[in-house]
């Protein structure tokens, strides 16, 4: 049987950072919506729409942390960690919808772009950039430990670029009078979202389909196991992730009982997986094999203990 993973969900400090980032982003999103409507700026409304996805991503990340704390029970032996991935997939689909809306609205405005009040747009966009910078700072420490927090961080980073785009557009309109630039900036922001959204959705679908996690080369991992002294073959090798911070592995490892001790093989396998691939949640079944023939009493083993099987 396997031991529990050494990876954990973000700690209380990261939850606090998420909460502050959510309050900042949510409050400024409302300001951008009001400003975009009053100042006739589609670019500002586009940025507000992306801030809405930030708010959703941050709220979902907070919910995932809290739901993920629920204890394992008889119906959910892996607990509720997978909620994080479902939440990230929902966020990706939401992003697709927002991008489609912005592109549609831009098409509607292209033939007759409304006048944009550049002074108000500039003020709101500059304040938005400051809010994004603060939120990025709050989220930076947790972006590598959770797919949800990484998604929220990338959302805020994209919004920072969006705010910069709105500032540039407002300056161009102010000095040239080209109101159509506002629509062009909105389209650029919308198109910027699509490839990032696809990457996020692809990562979440890979986890939901129990694919090999990003960063793990399965042939390389298998060869590393085969290179261990005494290992004859490796089969039924599966590597998957319950969540972005919880990778699991199961495998049948055949060894030569004439040259290797099962306890030593087990220890070597788990040390290799932990040190080289950072995998600690494992289920390893050892199978004794002599001259290509299996032995009837092959033992089954995991990361912390093993038992004899037939």
What is the model's pLDDT at position 249? Answer: 95
What is the model's pLDDT at position 300? Answer: 44
Q: Which of 38, 39, 42 is nearest to 187 (CA)?
A: 42
> Superfamily assignment of 218-308 in CATH?
Cation efflux protein, cytoplasmic domain (3.30.70.1350)
> Superfamily assignment of 12-208 in CATH?
Cation efflux protein transmembrane domain (1.20.1510.10)
- The reply to whether domains 12-208 and 218-308 share a CATH topology is no
In angstroms, the CA 89 to CA 70 distance is: 21
pLDDT in tens, 257-277: 888 889 999 999 999 999 999
The two structure tokens encoding residue 130: 């400051």
Domain boundaries, the chain: 12-208, 218-308
Q: Does residue 68 contact residue 86 with C-beta atoms inside 8 Å?
A: no
Lowest model confidence (mean pLDDT) among 5-9, 53-57, 63-67, 107-111 = 5-9
């Amino acid at each position: 049987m396997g031991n529990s993973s050494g990876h954990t969900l973000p700690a209380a400090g990261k939850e606090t950072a998420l909460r502050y980032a959510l309050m900042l982003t949510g409050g400024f999103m409302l300001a951008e919506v009001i400003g975009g409507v009053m100042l006739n700026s589609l670019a500002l409304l586009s940025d507000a729409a992306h801030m809405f996805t930030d708010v959703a991503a941050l709220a979902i990340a907070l919910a995932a942390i809290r739901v993920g704390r629920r204890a394992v029970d008889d119906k959910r032996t892996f607990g509720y960690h997978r909620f994080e991935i479902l939440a990230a997939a929902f966020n990706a689909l939401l992003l697709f919808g927002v991008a489609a809306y912005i592109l549609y609205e831009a098409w509607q405005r292209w033939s007759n772009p409304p006048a944009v009040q550049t002074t108000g747009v500039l003020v709101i966009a500059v304040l938005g950039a400051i809010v994004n910078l603060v939120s990025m700072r709050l989220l930076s420490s947790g972006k590598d430990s959770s797919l949800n927090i990484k998604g929220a961080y990338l959302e805020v980073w994209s919004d920072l670029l969006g705010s910069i785009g709105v500032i540039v557009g407002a300056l161009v309109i102010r000095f040239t009078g080209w109101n159509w630039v506002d629509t062009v900036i909105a389209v650029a922001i919308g198109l910027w979202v699509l490839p990032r959204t696809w990457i996020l959705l692809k990562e979440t679908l890979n986890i939901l389909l129990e694919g090999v996690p990003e960063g793990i080369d399965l042939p390389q991992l298998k060869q590393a196991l085969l290179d261990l002294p005494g290992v004859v073959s490796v089969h039924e090798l599966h590597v998957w992730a319950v969540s972005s911070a919880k990778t699991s592995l199961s495998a049948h490892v055949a060894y030569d009982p004439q040259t290797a001790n099962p306890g030593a093989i087990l220890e070597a396998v788990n040390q290799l997986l932990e040190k080289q691939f950072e995998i600690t949640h494992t289920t390893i079944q050892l199978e004794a094999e002599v001259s290509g023939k299996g032995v009837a009493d092959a033992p089954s083993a995991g990361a912390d203990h093993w038992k004899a099987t037939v």
